[in-house]
Structure 1
């Protein structure tokens, strides 16, 4: 069984409902030496070393060019209306929850096993560099029930520049959600601002 198939089964959800295998992509052996691209006017740093299972997004959102007109082939230029790429480190349980119910805004986050306050404000953090999500401990590890191997997990998505806040650290992007916002309004804000289209997995060496 290949790792992508195993990961789909690890979620224990209806695969036809949530996944779109024709857009899966293996970034493990790629190089960024000749891959300059700026979707939405921001540099896209591809998740080198990771493997992606694609989420089913066509028909889920209103028609627009937020994902670049659905072109599968590599492009080095953005199209009008395209949103920048962003990442969100999470756990496999968190990814499953986001898949089924959308994002929930935590009052704090756990980094390397310790609860920490939101550094730059309350909301959803989604840096433009997968290395940030991994390095700062937000991409959690899990052991696949199917393969028995250990991986880190993160989401790959697109962020609406109208809702995005660039933090003091420019490698941190935030979708701000004020404290006291109702759960329904929170979901509405995040749904308009961030659209996951892939779940990324990286095998832990050693």
Structure 2
């Protein structure tokens, strides 16, 4: 059989998917907290009604911990997804492995307010994804071409200094992403494979 027939399958990048689950002992801690709170009610209430708080607190505590584990990070084809956000791998200029200390520093006092962060404190390490700057970055405080001057200004009167008109936050480009992952090396490898596959398909 011609080996060339298998070349597309070999060039296909392997996907990556990670569920950012909470530690298992969190479920035991949630049960303990629910039991302690239920006992507080049981001391003050007599009869079968004393068991009602347990019926509400135990499922609620377990559901809260399970909901915290619903976050995920994945590389599917040419797209990286972090939670409900996504970015094309071709828009990622550089990917940097972050230790837990470096991640905390990057999202703390040294963080950029425009950066997108998808972190989970119980995960630890992560990656920084530096995005490519837009080809036509937005300009702040400039008059659009052909925009008429203020009609209230009298002829010959000196023009008022331009006023900065800040753009809404959703229109400003994000400089980078910070994403939690327990396996930074695997995520970086999946990104490199996806970028290499995209460059070969052009």
Structure 2 length as normaliser, TM-score?
Answer: 0.22
Q: Please state which structure has a larger fraction of its residues in strand.
A: 1
Q: Please state which structure has a larger fraction of its residues in helix.
A: 2
Question: Which structure exhibits the higher relative contact order, with contacts defined as CA atoms closer than 8 Å and separated by 6 or more residues?
Answer: 2
Structure 1 length as normaliser, TM-score?
Answer: 0.22
Higher Cα radius of gyration: 2
